[in-house]
A = this chain, B = another copy of it.
Amino acid sequence: MTTIKNRRTIRKYKSEEVAADLLNRLLESAARAATMGNIQLYSVVVTRDKDMKEKLSPLHFGQPMVKGAPVVLTFCADFNRFTKWCEQRKATPGYDNFLSFINAASDTLLFVQNFTTLAEEAGLGTCYLGTTVYNSQGIIEALNLPKLTFPIATITVGWPDECPEQTDRLPLSGIVHEETYKDYSEDDIDKIYEYKESLQENKHFVEINNKETLAQVFTDLRYTKKDNEAMSSGLIEALKHQGFL
């Protein structure tokens, strides 16, 4: 399947719209993904409106794809719909807990990835915004997400206006374990990261940021302990607010 093999993240889109019927067809097929008990624990909020994109943009740290893409999709874990159904059918739901959040988040991400593959197969470009879980509470408010729903992933979608190089990946041997997890020796780590560290682009990052190693670019600038801890607290608070903890 060349679509998956050749995939790259697309951050620049043509101004051309993505037709609603195409989008719906893709979402409908994406829903064939495995789902817990065939319950489909997700919803998707479609953003096309300029004002709504303006609202979402700062919540995604101003990443230009939010305002630049014709469509922004926020995929949400959703136990609200199922819970309402239970209540309307004399059944006692019990999904206001952490396991149910993880189940719904899993369903959502399988759906997201299926959608992404289908969109790319149709010639569209997509970008996955991990920032969705960094500012969950803001997104919950912007999109009016009720209790027992939670924003998990945002995908910007449009017709590609760029074709960037494919990014590197770790050697498969660094990811696959036979029968049990074999923890990494120092030598393993050196080998696994050797290629990544050798790339000109990564050497450049180290240099312009005045760092000694590439790992420091990640820990000191991109994904710092301080930010992660602050955002962990925010995420846990938002989960409580939405009734999952």
Partner-B contacts on A (CB < 8 A): 1, 3-7, 9, 24, 27-34, 36-40, 42-49, 52, 76, 80-82, 84-86, 88-95, 97-100, 102-103, 105-106, 109-110, 112-114, 116-118, 121, 127-128, 130, 133-134, 142-146, 149, 152-153, 166-170, 172, 174-181, 183-184, 186, 189-190, 192-193, 212-216, 218-220, 222-226, 228-229, 231-232, 235-236
Contact = CB atoms under 8 A, between A and B. Distances in A.
Contacts of A95: 223, 225, 228
A186 B207 CA distance: 60
Given A52-B180, A99-B232, 20 more contacts: A27-B172, A33-B113, A38-B168, A45-B180, A46-B176, A46-B178, A49-B179, A76-B181, A81-B192, A85-B192, A92-B220, A94-B226, A97-B229, A100-B228, A102-B105, A103-B130, A106-B152, A109-B109, A110-B116, A143-B180
Copies of the protein in its oligomer: 2
A153 B106 contact: yes
A142 B212 CA distance: 39
28 contacts: A1-B117, A4-B30, A24-B172, A32-B166, A34-B127, A43-B181, A45-B178, A45-B179, A46-B176, A46-B177, A46-B178, A81-B174, A81-B189, A84-B189, A88-B186, A91-B213, A93-B225, A95-B223, A97-B229, A97-B232, A98-B232, A99-B235, A102-B133, A103-B130, A106-B109, A109-B109, A112-B113, A142-B180
A121 B156 CA distance: 26
Contacts of A88: 186, 189-190, 215
Contacts of A39: 218
Contact of A43 (B45, B112, B177): B177
